[in-house]
Structure 1
Amino acid sequence: MVRQMVHQIVRREVGRDVRQPVVVGAVAAAGVAVLALVDADRNEVPLCPLKAITGLDCPLCGGLRAVSALTRMNVAEAMDHNALFTLSVPLLVAAWLAWLWASIRPEPRWQPPTWAVPALLTVLVAFAVARNLPYYPWLASEA
């Protein structure tokens, strides 16, 4: 009964359901907390399945080790693990904050432009190809 009352108050005052961004933020914060406790450089974090099977780096290979390095404020090490992910962290945080803010406001939600998803996929594919070429060894994940 109390839960229903709180839910009605939140829905009435906030105007939108804030549970989704709050849950996603809590899960992300818990994941970061775990990675802060684990030494990813000692291979306590499992390899990406694609990397383990083929030896190729996917666009996210090294992402967990990058987060682990960022929890220690070591940006250079994070860039070494996955430059694209490390550079994307401020954008991911901004996107989450925008999502949270949009779920609080009663105004219509902002819609990303139609070119955003194809552009993101193009960047991910280009990064995946570039980090597996011998011309750019500094883009490869070291593990």
Structure 2
Amino acid sequence: MTQVESVPPSHIGVATPDRVTAWFMRRSAALPVWAGPAAALVCIAGALGYTQLTNPTDAAAGDPPSCLLKLTTGFDCPGCGGTRAAWYLMHGDLSAAARHHLLFVFAVPFLLYAYVAWAGKKVFNKQLPQLRVGPKTVAWFLGIWAVFTILRNLPWAPFTWLYV
């Protein structure tokens, strides 16, 4: 009995990117290594600057930044209170930030570390221990976030404390 080698058909290969994708790929290959982390940092700074300028703690329901779901239904969405929590964190008021969005406050240190580890590896080639987040961890976090979203919209005590 002879052994037959499995050779993939020659007509199967990697798809050629379209013109727009190829243009973006060429441009991204020409960028310096620090461009990605710098762009992310500019976006983060822009979001924090906008939050600082608009002061969401004094905003009425229809003032920017506004939550379309809360404006139309009256319910807190999964992210409601996140902008106010960020504003309070920027001003050092951890308890008020946690009052507005506890899960956001919980996630911020992990997100900051993930950014620093990624940017350090990309720019300085310094390897920090990576956060290993598996599918089960993500599923648990999303499940807890879903329960948190439901509980914060219940109209009786003690859940009214979660309503923002």
Instruction: Answer whether TM exceeds 0.5 for this pair.
Output: yes
Return the alpha-carbon distance in structure 1 between the equivalents of residues 92 and 41 of structure 2. Answer: 20
Aligned equivalent of 1:34: 50
What do the CA deviations read for 1:81-116 (whole angstroms, capped 9, x no partner)?
Answer: 212112221121112112223434388xx6632323
Deviation at 1:49, TM superposition (A): 1.1
| Structure 1: tracts of 5 or more residues without a match | 11-16
TM-score, normalised by the number of residues in structure 2: 0.65
CA distance in structure 2 between the aligned counterparts of 1:75 and 1:91, rounded to whole angstroms:
16
**Cα distance in 2, alignment partners of residues 140 and 92 from structure 1:** 25
User: Residues 52-131 of structure 1 correspond to what in structure 2 (within 5 A)?
Assistant: 52-104=71-123, 105=125, 112-131=133-152
Give the TM-score normalised by structure 1: 0.73
Which secondary structure state, in structure 1, belongs to the residue aligned with residue 65 of structure 2?
A: coil
Aligned position for 1:22: 38
Count of equivalent residues: 128
Counterpart amino acid of residue 76 in structure 2: D
Aligned residue for 2:57, secondary structure, equals helix
Contact 1:57–1:132 at 8 Å: present in 2 too?
yes
* C-alpha deviation, 1:26, in angstroms: 1.8
Q: Does the CA contact (< 8 Å) of 2:70 and 2:76 recur in 1?
A: yes
Q: What is the aligned-residue identity percentage? A: 28
- Whether the aligned pair in 2 keeps the contact of 1:38 and 1:68 (CA below 8 Å) is no
Q: Deviations over 1:44-87 (max 9, x none)?
A: 53321111111111221011111112222122221222121122
Q: For the structure 1 residues 55 and 75, does the alpha-carbon distance in structure 2 shift closer, same or farther, using more than 3 Å as the test?
A: same
Q: 1:120 to 1:20 in 2, by over 3 A?
A: farther
Q: Relative to total residues, which structure has the larger helix share, 1 or 2?
A: 1
Higher relative contact order (CA 8 A, sep 6+): 1
Any stretches of 5+ residues in structure 2 without a counterpart?
A: 1-26
Structure (1 or 2) with the larger CA radius of gyration: 2
